[in-house]
Amino acid sequence: MIDWRENPVIRRELLFRLRPQPSYRLIMVITVVLVFIAVALLYWVALESIRDYDSYRSLVALTLVIQTLIVVGGAPAATANAVSREREQRTWDLLSITLLKPYEVVLGKLIGRVIPLLLPLLLGAPMMLLSAISNPGMLPAIVLGTLCVVVTLVFYSAAGLAASCYSRKTVTATALAYLFAGGWVFGTLILWGLTGLLFPGVGSREATFWLAVNPFAVIEPIMVKYTPTAYSYPINDTLYVLSPWTLLVVYAGLTVFLLWVLISTYRHWAYR
C-alpha cells in the first residue's frame, strides 16, 4: 500500500495541472480576468458591508453563490479528461499495467484534480474571515456553507471522473459531465415544479425535498437558520427543515457510491 502523499498519480496530476500550459494562454487570460472581477466584486461588497452591520449576511451569501458557481462550472471540466485524455494520448495503457491498485489510481485522479479547484475557492476566505470577526454569530453559517461547497465540489468531480472513465473521447466525457451537472441543478428545480403539478395532494412545501439537494437553493436556508436575523423562517417548510444536512448526506453518499463503482469495475473500463 502506497502512502497517499507518495501516490505517483496524485503527484503527476498536480504537477501537470499547476504547470502553465502555453497552448492555454487565452483560457488563462480569461480566467484571470474573471477572477479579478470576482475579487473586485467581493471586496466592494465587503467595503459596503462595513457601513451596514447586517450586510455581512449578504457578503457571506454572495461569496457562497460565487464559490458554488465556480464549482458547478469548473468541477466537470477538471475531471472529465482525467482518463479519456490519457486514452487519446495512448498513455493510459502504461498506467493501467503498473502495480498501483485500482483505488490508488481512482483516488489519485480525483484528489489530483480536486486540489487545484480548491485554490479559487480560497478567494472568498478573506470575506468569510471579515464576516466572522465582525459578527461571530455567523460562524455556523460560514462553516456549513463552506462545507456544502466542498462536498459539492467532490461530488461533481467524482461524477466527471466517472464520465471520463467510461468514455473513449474527451468531448463525450465533457458533454456527459456538464449534462449531469446542469441536469442536477436545473433538474431538481423541474422536479420540484412537476411534483406539485402531477401530484395535487402534495403541497409545494412537501415537494421542496428536491430543492434541499440543490447546491444553490440551500444557501438561503443556511443564511436564515444559522445567522442572527430578525426574520423568522417557517418551521414546517421542508426546505428549511432538511437544509443543509440532506445535501451533505446525499452528496457524500453518492460520491462514495460513484467511487465504489469505479473501483469495483476497474478491470471493465480500464482494460477495454
Q: How far apart are CA 240 and CA 233, in angstroms?
A: 8
Residue 159 pLDDT grade (very low, low, confident, very high; cuts 50, 70, 90): very high
**Which pLDDT value is given to residue 21?**
47
CB atoms within 10 A of CB 4: 12
pLDDT(22) > 50: no
Task: Say how far residue 205 (Cα) sits from the centre of its chain.
Answer: 26
| Poorest-pLDDT segment among 33-42, 86-95, 128-137, 255-264 | 33-42
pLDDT number for residue 212: 86
Contact 217, 55 (CB under 8 A): no
Asked if 221 contacts 244 with a C-beta cutoff of 8 angstroms, the reply is yes
CA atoms within 13 A on the CB side of 159: 26
Pinpoint the alpha helices (H) of the chain: 8-18, 25-51, 56-79, 84-88, 92-96, 102-121, 125-134, 139-165, 170-198, 219-225, 238-242, 245-264, 266-270
What distance in Å separates the CA atoms of residue 260 and residue 241, rounded to the nearest whole number?
30
**Measured between alpha carbons, how far is 77 from 42 in angstroms, rounded to an integer?**
25
As a whole number of angstroms, the distance between CA 154 and CA 151 comes to 5
Residue 75 CB neighbours (<10 A): 26
Q: Please determine, for residue 166, whether its predicted confidence score (pLDDT) is greater than 50.
A: yes
Mean pLDDT, range 200-218, rounded to an integer = 71
Residue 69 CA: distances (Å) to CA of 10, 66, 181, 194, 243: 25, 5, 11, 25, 19
Other CB atoms closer than 10 Å to residue 161's CB: what's the count? 29
Task: Measure Cα distances from 14 to 28, 75, 113, 145 in Å.
Answer: 17, 15, 7, 26
Q: Please report the pLDDT score of residue 243 as a whole number.
A: 82
* 52 — pLDDT class (breaks 50, 70, 90): low
Whole-number pLDDT of residue 121: 81
Mean pLDDT of 5-34: 57
Q: What is the mean pLDDT of the chain?
A: 78
Average pLDDT over residues 166-185: 90
C-alpha cell at position 133 = 470577526
Q: Which three cell numbers stand for residue 175?
A: 458533454
**What gap in Å lies between CA 249 and CA 85, rounded to an integer?**
32
pLDDT at 17 over 60: no
pLDDT tens-digit profile of 99-114? 788 888 888 889 888 8
DSSP code at position 99? S
When mean pLDDT is compared over 23-37, 151-165, 181-195, the highest value belongs to 151-165
pLDDT at 45: 57
Out of 42-46, 214-218, 228-232, 251-255, which region has the weakest mean confidence (pLDDT)? 42-46
Integer Cα distance of 93 and 108 in angstroms:
16
Label residue 85 by pLDDT band (50, 70, 90). Answer: confident
- The span from the CA of 261 to the CA of 268, in Å, is 11
